[in-house]
Structure 1
Amino acid sequence: MEDEDNEEQTLQKKHQLMLERLSARHQTRLETRKPDPSDSSTTSAFLSRFNDSKKSIAAKIESSTDPSRLPDISAAISDLEKFVAENSYLLPSYEIRSSLKTISDLKQSLENLTSQLIPKKKFSFKKSKPTKTQIPQPDTVSVPEKTTSYPIRDSPGFRHKQNQVLVQNFKGSEIGEFTISDLDSCEVKLIGCVNALFLNRLKNCKIYAGPVVGSILMEEVEDCVFVLASHQIRIHFAKRSDFYLRVRSRPIIEDSDGVRFANYCLKYEGIEEDLAVARLDEETGNWANVDDFKWLRAVQSPNWSILPAEERVGDVDLANLR
């Protein structure tokens, strides 16, 4: 009987120790876990600030009659889009899509206002007589410059490079956002996590990036290859480019054609840990569920397609790249 009592006491001690370990582990998770996207207080705080900014921008567009104010309004819209990007990993998918739709509407309203305040120049064959200091020029048609949604930012990044290999390691650093802009025939390798990534005006480039905690905003890319992981990606004015993605929400394209999609295939030492930190360690399959915001018909958009398996690059290991 005494042996049975001792055995029972031993089991009870083991059970108590197990409960204590589980309790400590649960407490650690509570202290370190990231905000839950379903947390209504988080969403409410975001929506309150977002709606205030939206109303302010809309009021400026409605009342503005001075063309000199247009750049400030454009910057405000860009800041609002950046705000959505930085908070996208905290929000439900519906709120992200709704916010992006609102931003698109604001951009369209700004374009309409710009057309009213700055009319396009009329086509003319008239030549001006050259003066002694003038060099005669051939007749040209003035074409308004396309306004970019994502202006060059002051954030760290790579800008105005050609035919270069560019490497940035984020490990051990705290970089909120990173910009890659105005590159031609470059190869970019980003190792580690960053909160937001902006890509503008890229041609014939290869971009390999570790996980992005928030969103990726992209505009004016041509004949490029992208290997990217993020919670949300928005692609504007892309042509003949391939995207290897891992995303938590559906990728969004606008004014794009000839773009193809496949699953994320990047490898480097420590990438699994980086994906876990960014909450991107799970493959959702959303890379194949692309939303074309400029294609409203029920049938498949002709502007994007799935990249055929035989044409994919396979695993891309940064250690093996030149």
Structure 2
Amino acid sequence: MADCDATGPVSTVNSGIMEEKRQVVGDRLKRRDEERLAELEKKKEERSENLTAQESAKFFLETFSKNKNDLEQELSGCDSLEKDKLVDRFDNLSVMHQKLQRFLTESTMFLSSYDVRQTQDALSKLQALIQEKRDALLPKKKFAFKSKKKGTQQQKTEESKNSDIPSVDMVELADCKFTDKENETLIMDSSINMKDVALANLKSCTVKLFGAPSAIHVNKLVNCTILSGPVSGSIFIRECTNCVFAVPCQQLRIHSTTETKFFIHVTSRAIIEDCSKVSFGPYNWTYPNIIDHYKVSGLDKNRNTWDDIDDFNWLAADQRSPNWSLIPEDERNIQWE
């Protein structure tokens, strides 16, 4: 009996230890099983997401191709149009191109980098073709007689009304924006690639855009410095005073701006309207990764018409408008902050 009494507690302890071990092993197996099921579910979701992305990419490429073909057909039809219908046609082409650009911007999340680059290259070439056709069919007229001035001014006014200068709506709709700031340094990184950027109601600010946006909309800036990486589409500037811009882009439109310097790389003719005391020099800002951003934007580094400015308020094509000038060479070497 003494021996039994002595071994009883030991047996109970051993039994408890075994039960704990079984519990640990059971918990471990259960946890492994849960992890396995979670991994299977994750892979299932990834397959579903990949399939959705592939379907979305296919839809994008098919839709883009169709709309691109429609734009090219509209462009090819310009040669047979009468001149009084050309302005409307080119305005429509600009709208079509902007819609394609926005379609690409909104679709980059499920497109491969190759598809984005190829599509942006196609858009850049389309923009260049539109500009070349516009220059060929709607050349800036030379004037020999003052009696013709009135009619031509009316033509300029019509072109001005149809020019694609940004509205407040475009600022509101932009993907990324800085608004209503004063005495600040404002920075955006490469997250702006292929997105619309807006800058509005800024005073005494420095803005640095380290990326390749699809477009920039600028409205009501005073005493600001704006530095940007290459823009795949257009930059629209309205009502700026005493500012400095260093920007590369496909198209540049400047409206109601005064006492402002522009250091630009632009692949088509920059346009000013209702501007005074604006001056231009070649783009000279640089930063790490700018070469990569040029590739993203599709901007042609070898084509820069920075000194060829079209003033919608100036009639004589054989004389430079007094509203703009070239920045002297000794004032172009700026050490940007």
Scaled by the length of structure 1, what TM-score is found? 0.57
Give the C-alpha shift of residue 193 in structure 1: 0.7
Give the C-alpha shift of residue 294 in structure 1: 1.5
Query: Equivalent of 2:126, from 85, 91, 94?
Result: 91
Query: Residue type of the partner of 1:162?
Result: E
Correspondence for 1:166: 186
- Asked if 2 retains the 8 angstrom alpha-carbon contact of 1:232 and 1:247, the reply is yes
Give the C-alpha shift of residue 285 in structure 1: 3.6
- Is 1:46 the counterpart of 2:81 in the alignment? no
Q: CA RMSD in A?
A: 3.8
Tell me the alpha carbon deviations over residues 100-144 of structure 1, each in whole angstroms, 9 at most, x when there is no partner: 98997377389xxxxxxxxxxxxxxxxxxxxxxxxxxxxxxxxxx
Give the C-alpha shift of residue 272 in structure 1: 1.5
Correspondence for 1:126: none
Give the C-alpha shift of residue 315 in structure 1: 5.1
Taking structure 1 as reference, are residues 195 and 103 closer, same or farther at Cα in structure 2, changes over 3 Å only? farther
Query: Residue type of the partner of 1:222?
Result: T
- Asked if 1 retains the 8 angstrom alpha-carbon contact of 2:242 and 2:260, the reply is yes
Give the C-alpha shift of residue 175 in structure 1: 4.7
- Is 1:193 the counterpart of 2:212 in the alignment? yes
Taking structure 1 as reference, are residues 46 and 309 closer, same or farther at Cα in structure 2, changes over 3 Å only? same
Correspondence for 1:150: 167
Identity percentage of aligned residues: 30
Q: Distance in 2 between matches of 1:272 and 1:284?
A: 15
Q: SS of the residue aligned with 1:105?
A: helix
Query: Residue type of the partner of 1:105?
Result: E
- Asked if 2 retains the 8 angstrom alpha-carbon contact of 1:207 and 1:225, the reply is yes
Correspondence for 2:306: 287
Aligned length: 217
Higher relative contact order (Cα pairs below 8 Å, separated by 6+ residues): 2
Query: Residue type of the partner of 2:189?
Result: N
- Is 1:108 the counterpart of 2:127 in the alignment? no
Query: Equivalent of 1:269, from 288, 308, 321?
Result: 288
Q: SS of the residue aligned with 1:305?
A: strand
Taking structure 1 as reference, are residues 219 and 104 closer, same or farther at Cα in structure 2, changes over 3 Å only? farther
Q: Distance in 2 between matches of 1:262 and 1:240?
A: 14
Q: More helix per residue: 1 or 2?
A: 2
Give the C-alpha shift of residue 219 in structure 1: 0.7
- Asked if 1 retains the 8 angstrom alpha-carbon contact of 2:166 and 2:236, the reply is no
Q: Distance in 2 between matches of 1:84 and 1:292?
A: 28
Scaled by the length of structure 2, what TM-score is found? 0.55
For structure 2, the 5+ residue unaligned runs are 1-60, 76-91, 103-119, 139-154
Query: Equivalent of 1:217, from 236, 246, 249?
Result: 236
- Asked if 1 retains the 8 angstrom alpha-carbon contact of 2:156 and 2:313, the reply is no
- Asked if 2 retains the 8 angstrom alpha-carbon contact of 1:166 and 1:187, the reply is yes
- Is 1:311 the counterpart of 2:328 in the alignment? no
Give the C-alpha shift of residue 80 in structure 1: 7.2
Q: Distance in 2 between matches of 1:255 and 1:97?
A: 24
Tell me the alpha carbon deviations over residues 237-278 of structure 1, each in whole angstroms, 9 at most, x when there is no partner: 110100000111111111111011011111111111212332
Give the C-alpha shift of residue 49 in structure 1: 7.8
Q: SS of the residue aligned with 1:288?
A: coil
